[in-house]
Amino acid sequence: MNKFATVALGAFLFAATPLQIMAQDNTNPFLQAYTTKYGIPPYEKIKVSDFIPAIKAGIEEQDQNLFSITRNRALPDFDNTILPLENLSPILERVASVFYHYESALSTPEFAAMAEEAIPLLNEAANKVNLDEQLFQRIKAVYDSRDKLKLTPVQKRVVEKYYRQFAEQGAALSPEKKEQLIKVNDELSKLFIRFNKNLLAATNQFTVVVYDSADLAGLPESSVAQAAEEATKRGLDGLWVFTLHAPSRLPVLQYADNRGLREAIYKGYTSLASTGEYSNLPVISEIVKLRNEKAKIMGFDNFAQMMTSRVMAKTPENATNLLMQVFEPAVKRSHEEVADMQAIVDAEGGNFKIAPWDYYYYADKVKKQKYDLDENQVREYFSLENVMKGLFDTTERLYGIKMVPMNDAPKYMDEVQVFDVVDTKTGEHVAVWMCDYFPRDSKRQGAWMEQLQSAGIYEDGKYRRPIVYNVGNFSRPAGDIPALLTIDEVETTFHEFGHALQSILSRAPYKSIAGTNVDRDYVEMCSQINEHWAFEPEVLKSYARHYKTGEVMPDSLINKLNASGKFNQGFVTTELAGAALLDLKYGAQPEVKDVKAFEKKVADEIGMPEEITFRYRSPYFKHIFGDDGYASGYYTYLWSQVLEADAWELFQQKGIFDKKTADSFKKNILESGDTEDALILFKRFRGHEPDTKALLRLRGFE
């Protein structure tokens, strides 16, 4: 998850002091180690104008330290070759961690303009390291002699990981192919910038203005208040403005009685960044073509083959096979769900066939009919403050850590919250955790976890604890109504904190194998299993309180909530697995000239129901086109769910707060990082190979 991991993976032990760095303006906060508590970036001192000078200074520092490694005449070993790579440039690592965070969460027009200059510089810095022939030969020499050197098992794994990652980045290529790879990578990075800029601009550009209050029928009070505030911000007092940001869009789709309003929002979202000056269609075509070129340079038949070879799946066929095992029963279930919805439409004299913009709305009606569950009523018990309390209490019971507010800590926005994570028994500092939960124009959609500082050994030889953050886009408080979360948003909060826990609790000795620096199709297990505690009756009673009365959620409502737990899984799984299959199909193509036609072709081939679209349509599928993070790897959510489902069954058998089980999960999964093979760690916790049937049981398909 660390976007800079291929450039700086750990801690450096040389003492190079570049003259240019010495000459830099010492007011630039990136140019020296932070003096703040726990090394939190001093946000109040950081200016947009600081980034480029710091990046350039960091590149110079990297170049000097790289020279020191490659010109070392001693035989290559762990201490003189591998360990220095753990933090090749402290300056570059500091500035890059904040840069990539701002790019997603605080991309103001001024920052975005600077980023167009910064990203090519950062990519060039990465290429200098990843494709350095002399450096790779030293790494290879350590790799070849790893069984003869006196290495610990963890050090040996670090050596193997560096060798594999450098080979995957093209270090073993001929000079001619390296030059081709650099060119392709540079072009791809520019396309990623265009894709993300187009998506943000298109999202902010689209609105639906409501003039008649009658058209708001069915919408929650909080959604109406939020739309009124948005209208006032835009100088449209007395009206209501809805946007494509999730807190505005989703309540319309789920609750608005006005079918035309639902259709307008749905079509606005599913055609996002598809037309006009912000269209991502030509960008996608170029990305697909260049990725295929990159795969050919690296010796693979296609991009999907290259990406799956690096993780647990090993081949696109294996990934596709898993997806189809889940997709086909999910589609079958979705047909049953649509039939239930159509029955309601017919009974109400609707005289129309269920369309995609009807799905959320009529699914909610079916849910009320089957379980007598009103999600809007449930939401009144899920204020953000209460949900965070439940999250913190659950974490303390399971893993023995508590969250202590750091009210005076540096922040990049006032609404950001910062916590000191401490051991409940010893009071020892474990990590810093930050959260940023509300939408704004400078923040991309969705929710995610990243880290500003990894656990591991740093340039001074000292072991540091991590600084981790979660970002979301939840409804803001409106008037006297606090931020109220939907069921999905509660799940998202626990999910992303599950990612955070893998970094917070990491005890791996080196940054390259700490926290979430694990195989992509393993990393989602920790986040997905953490979702389960959110809706356990014992946990709900500890935090779910009505925002007006303070009343604990009654047993009757808890029972309804849990009884409906497997409801609508046909839809949820179909849209997710469909998107994952689409992603793999893109990775297998030499080129895609007509993105819309290709998307439709894939939908027809796999049998996507006409009432459901892919979870993300291509022009806003940021996971796979905003960078290479999940490209030909979106399937990993479902791959990880096999592990998650199997692991959760053990907690269900032993008790959701069983100390022995929680301690084992903490030790073998959350603390271990990539110190051992993921399958070995999983089997050590679970006691057997992953059971693929567990996922079908979890989804209610078996």
Output the domain CATH number for residue 85: 1.10.1370.40
What would the pLDDT profile of 57-103 be if each residue is shown by its tens digit? Answer: 999 999 999 999 999 999 999 999 999 999 999 999 999 999 999 99
The residues, ordered by sequence, that sit 6+ positions from 251 with a Cβ below 8 Å of its Cβ are 219, 220, 223, 486
How sure is the predictor about 2, in pLDDT bands with cuts at 50, 70 and 90?
Answer: very low
Indicate whether 431 and 533 sit together in one domain: yes
The residues assigned a catalytic role are 496
Write down the mean pLDDT value for the chain.
Answer: 93
Tell me if 197 is assigned to some domain. Answer: no
Average pLDDT in the 476-481 region?
A: 89
Q: Which residue has the higher pLDDT, 20 or 472?
A: 472
Indicate whether 330 and 425 sit together in one domain: no
Nearest CA among 285, 636, 272 for reference residue 445? 272
- Is the model's pLDDT at 303 over the cut of 50? yes
| Amino acid occupying residue 127 | N
- How would DSSP label each residue in 201-227? HHHHH-EEEE--GGGGTT--HHHHHHH
- Is the model's pLDDT at 458 over the cut of 90? yes
Range of the domain at 601: 278-303+314-373+569-634
Say which residue the tokens 């959510």 belong to. Answer: 637
> Which of 491-500, 579-588, 634-643 is least confident?
634-643
CATH number (domain holding residue 322)? 1.10.1370.10
Indicate whether 68 and 117 sit together in one domain: yes
For 457, the enclosing helix (H) or strand (E) is strand 456-457
Average pLDDT in the 369-395 region?
A: 95
- Is the model's pLDDT at 574 over the cut of 50? yes
User: Terminal CA-to-CA distance of the chain, rounded, Å?
Assistant: 33
Indicate whether 258 and 288 sit together in one domain: no
Indicate whether 575 and 485 sit together in one domain: no
Q: What pLDDT does residue 25 have?
A: 56
Indicate whether 360 and 494 sit together in one domain: no
Indicate whether 246 and 283 sit together in one domain: no
| Total domains present in the chain | 4
